[in-house]
Amino acid sequence: MPNLPISQLPELTAITTNAEYAVAQNGVTYRVKNGNIHPNGLWGSFVSLQSQYVASTTTAYSMTAETQTSGNGVIVSSDTRFVVASAGTYNLQFSSQVESTGGGNAQTMDIWLAINGTNVDYSNTQIVGNSNNGRSVAAWNFVEPMNAGDYFELKFKVSDTRLGFAYDPANINPTRPSIPSVIVTVTQV
């Protein structure tokens, strides 16, 4: 192959199993084999192994998911910030075990998305907690474009401090795994 500038190389229109490609990064051209190309390969999976209850009904809090169970290019920072290593579009999914520890009136929880500390428009959803020591699951997803180094946060606010996220350890009879208070996955799409 002639020594051409990257701008003059032919455009790739199909990928074959044994192909090799020239990739330029920071002024250096590398030869990359097809097996080392992983499009949309960034992801991370996180859980919280602690119950999460808050002290105020007038403060926005961030859900924690301090334990990374697996991942490639997505990490958790400060227990609440899910940081992506590369630019792209990402799907953030979560589920949380919402629990009311008491009360008699309807209790509400607002949950919304923030990116880099800024609330995302139209992302808030309000759920009603069972006020008689009950549990339910809040689970949904968001798809957002991100730049390298950007971070997601899942924010929440409660109307009653007895409403939060419950963690349960592993159990027996039958043996079953623990129930994280929050589960978060981030995948590049």
Average pLDDT value for the chain: 87
Q: Which residues neighbour 68 within 8 Å (Cβ) at sequence distance 6 or greater?
A: 44, 45, 46, 75, 76
Give me the mean pLDDT over the 140-161 stretch.
97
Amino acid 10: pLDDT: 66
Amino acid 180: pLDDT: 98
pLDDT of 27 > 70? The answer is no
In contact, 111 and 138? CB cutoff 8 Å: yes
Amino acid 112: pLDDT: 98
Give me the mean pLDDT over the 51-69 stretch.
98
Confidence at 30, pLDDT banded by 50, 70, 90: low
pLDDT of 131 > 70? The answer is no
Taking CB atoms within 8 Å and a gap of at least 24, the contacts of 125-129 are 127/98, 129/98, 129/99, 129/100, 129/160, 129/163
